[in-house]
C-alpha cells in the first residue's frame, strides 16, 4: 500500500506557508509571517511578493524535512489559486507549477476561503454535514452552508469591509501596529464591553456591513479626544472591549438568524478572526444556550496556514480533481 503525500503551498497574503499531508494526516505545517508590514499599518502588496520570494524555498524545504518526506515521494502539489493579492499568489502558484513540472506529478488548485472552512477536518471533533461556517478574515466575512467536503455555498457575506478589516482599521485609529486584531483582543480582556455602546448596522437578510461601525467609531474617538487628549491612553481597555463586543454582536446575530432559517445546528467558525478569544467565548456560550454543536479550530489553523490548503487538497485528490500547467491565480475568486 502506497501512502499519498501531498505538498501544499499558501501565499495569498502575508504568510508564506507549506505543509505536507499523508493520507489525510498533517505531517508538517511551516508558517513564515512577514513582519515588515507592521511599520506600514497594513499589508504592502509589493513587499509581500518579495518576502514570499525570499521565504518560499526555505519554508518548503523545512516542511519536507519536518515531515521526513523526500521530494521524489510526493504524489501531488497543491497551491492557493485565490482569492488574495495577485503578486503574492503568483509566487506560490509559479513555485508549485515548476515543482510539479520537475517532478512530473499532478497539480491541485485550492480556493483559500474553502480551505479555511475545511481546516475543521484536520483534527477531531469534525463537524457533520450539513453545517454552517462563519468565515471571518482580513478580507472576507461569510456565512457558508457546507453540504460536503467540496460542496459549499455562501448564504451571507459582507457588502463592504470584512470584520478583520474593521478590527485592523479601528486598531489603527488607536495607534496600534498592524495587524491590530490580536491587540484589540488582548486589551479587551481587561476592559468593560458595555463602557461605550455603538449603533448596530441595519442589514437585510444574512449579509453584513462593517463600514458604518468604523465611521461611527472614528467620530466617537474624535469627539472624546477633543474633550480629553489622553482619552485613548486612559481608557484603552474599555474602548477595545466595547468595539470588540459590537463586532462580535453583529456576527453572532446573523449566525443565529442563519441557523434559525436553515434549521442547521452544527456551527463552525474559521479564518483569522476566529482566533479572537471574545468571539470564541461568546459563540461557545450562545451555542450552549441554543443547543448548537460548536466547532472552533485550534489557533494555528485559524490564521493563514498551508495545513488547511493540504486538507482541502486531500479531498480534491480523492475526487481526482487536478488542474494543468496553464492555471493562473485569481485575486478575486468564487467558490
- Sheet harboring 141-148: ordered strands across? 151-157, 141-148, 131-136, 266-270, 293-295
Residue 109 found at the interface with ligand KG4 (CB under 6 A): no
Residue 118 found at the interface with ligand KG4 (CB under 6 A): no
Residue 13 found at the interface with ligand KG4 (CB under 6 A): yes
Contact 270, 134 (CB under 8 A): yes
Residue 112 annotated as binding site: yes
Applying CB under 5 A, the span of 36-44, 90-98, 131-139, 306-314 interacting with Zn ion comes to: 131-139
Residue 137 annotated as binding site: yes
Nearest residue (CB) to ligand KG4, 79 versus 317: 79
Residue 182 found at the interface with ligand KG4 (CB under 6 A): yes
Residue 137 found at the interface with Zn ion (CB under 5 A): yes
Nearest approach, Cβ of residue 203 and ligand KG4 (Å): 20
The single residue among 106, 164, 193, 297 that binds ligand KG4, judged by CB under 6 A, is: 164
Residue 14 found at the interface with Zn ion (CB under 5 A): no
Question: Alpha-carbon distance 107 to 197, whole Å?
Answer: 50
Enter the C-alpha cell of residue 85: 493579492
Q: Which of residues 301-320 bind Zn ion (CB under 5 A)?
A: 304
Residue 262, CA distances (Å) to 205, 219, 258, 267, 269 in order: 13, 37, 6, 11, 17
Residue 197, CA distances (Å) to 93, 186, 249, 287 in order: 45, 20, 11, 24
Enter the C-alpha cell of residue 136: 471571518
Backbone torsions φ then ψ of 283, nearest 5 degrees: -65, -40
Q: Which of residues 259-318 bind ligand KG4 (CB under 6 A)?
A: 271-273, 275-276, 303-304
Residue 142 found at the interface with ligand KG4 (CB under 6 A): no
Residue 276 annotated as binding site: yes
The single residue among 87, 181, 287, 297 that binds ligand KG4, judged by CB under 6 A, is: 181
Question: Alpha-carbon distance 1 to 4, whole Å?
Answer: 10
- Ordered alpha helix ranges (H), the chain: 45-67, 86-103, 112-118, 163-173, 181-188, 211-227, 231-262, 277-290, 307-318
The single residue among 78, 168, 294, 301 that binds ligand KG4, judged by CB under 6 A, is: 168
Question: Alpha-carbon distance 24 to 313, whole Å?
Answer: 9
Nearest approach, Cβ of residue 186 and ligand KG4 (Å): 8
Per the annotation, where are the binding residues for Fe cation?
112, 116, 304
Per the annotation, where are the binding residues for substrate?
135-139, 168, 181, 185, 276
| Interface positions with Zn ion (CB under 5 A) | 137, 304
| Interface positions with ligand KG4 (CB under 6 A) | 13, 137-139, 164, 167-168, 179, 181-182, 185, 271-273, 275-276, 303-304
Amino acid at each position: 500500500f502506497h501512502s499519498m503525500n501531498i505538498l501544499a503551498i499558501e501565499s495569498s497574503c502575508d504568510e508564506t506557508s507549506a505543509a505536507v499531508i499523508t493520507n489525510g494526516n498533517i505531517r508538517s505545517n511551516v508558517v513564515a509571517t512577514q513582519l515588515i508590514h507592521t511599520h506600514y499599518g497594513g499589508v504592502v502588496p509589493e513587499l509581500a511578493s518579495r518576502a514570499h520570494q525570499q521565504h518560499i524555498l526555505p519554508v518548503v524545504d523545512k516542511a519536507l524535512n519536518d515531515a521526513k518526506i523526500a521530494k521524489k515521494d510526493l504524489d501531488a502539489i497543491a497551491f492557493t489559486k485565490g482569492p488574495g493579492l495577485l503578486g503574492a499568489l503568483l509566487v506560490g502558484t509559479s513555485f508549485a507549477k515548476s515543482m510539479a513540472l520537475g517532478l512530473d506529478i499532478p497539480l491541485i488548485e485550492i480556493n483559500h476561503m474553502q480551505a479555511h472552512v475545511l481546516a475543521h477536518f484536520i483534527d477531531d471533533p469534525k463537524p457533520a454535514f450539513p453545517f454552517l461556517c462563519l468565515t471571518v478574515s482580513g478580507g472576507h466575512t461569510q456565512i457558508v452552508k457546507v453540504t460536503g467536503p467540496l460542496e459549499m455555498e455562501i448564504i451571507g457575506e459582507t457588502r463592504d469591509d470584512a470584520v478583520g478589516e474593521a478590527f485592523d482599521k479601528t486598531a489603527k485609529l488607536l495607534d496600534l501596529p498592524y495587524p491590530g486584531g490580536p491587540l484589540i483582543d488582548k486589551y479587551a480582556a481587561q476592559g468593560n464591553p458595555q463602557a461605550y455602546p455603538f449603533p448596530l448596522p441595519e442589514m437585510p437578510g444574512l449579509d453584513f456591513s462593517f463600514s458604518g461601525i468604523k465611521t461611527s467609531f472614528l467620530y466617537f474617538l474624535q469627539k472624546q479626544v477633543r474633550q480629553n487628549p489622553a482619552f485613548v491612553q486612559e481608557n484603552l481597555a474599555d474602548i477595545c472591549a466595547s468595539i470588540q463586543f459590537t463586532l462580535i454582536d453583529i456576527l453572532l446575530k446573523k449566525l443565529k438568524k442563519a441557523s434559525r432559517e436553515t434549521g442547521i445546528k452544527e456551527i463552525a467558525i474559521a479564518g483569522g478572526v476566529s482566533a479572537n478569544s471574545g468571539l470564541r467565548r461568546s459563540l461557545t456560550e450562545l451555542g450552549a444556550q441554543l443547543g448548537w454543536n460548536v466547532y472552533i479550530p485550534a489557533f494555528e489553523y485559524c490564521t493563514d496556514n498551508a495545513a488547511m490548503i493540504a486538507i482541502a487538497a486531500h479531498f480534491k485528490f480523492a475526487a481526482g480533481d487536478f488542474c494543468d500547467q496553464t492555471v493562473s491565480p485569481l485575486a478575486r475568486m468564487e467558490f
